[in-house]
Amino acid sequence: MDKKYYKDSGSLNASKSKKSQNSPDYWGEICIDIKDMTNVTKTPDGHYIFAISGWKKMSKAGNTYLSIAIKRKSQNDVNQASPKDDMNDDIPF
């Protein structure tokens, strides 16, 4: 059976064995339509910015993996995020 790919989604699978300390704990792939890079913010260095989300799931074979998806971050999304969003408003000063 051929694997089906979905735009802006993929998976990360837990590594069953690590060959070295630097080997990844998870491996996988994500499908991104690079022809459709409209409405995506770039860094000053020309890199694209994506938000990533993950859901812990279990395969039919009983293996744990993360189902992942990206959201293309528009310049409007970046502009709307302010430093106040990251601050703890419960601190009285």
Domain definitions of the chain by residue range: 9-81
Which residue from 69, 56, 60 is spatially nearest to 13, judged by alpha carbons? 56
Q: Between the CA atoms of 45, 47, 50 and 55, what dihedral angle is there, to the nearest 10 degrees?
A: -120
What is the model's pLDDT at position 77?
60
The Cα-based distances of 75 to 51, 58, 80 in angstroms read 13, 35, 9
Mark the ranges of the chain whose per-residue pLDDT is less than 50. Answer: 82-84, 86-88, 91-93
* Predicted structure pTM score: 0.62
Instruction: State CA 17 to chain mean position distance.
Output: 23
d(CA 25, CA 18): 7
Here the tokens at position 62 are: 């009983």
What is the model's pLDDT at position 56?
92
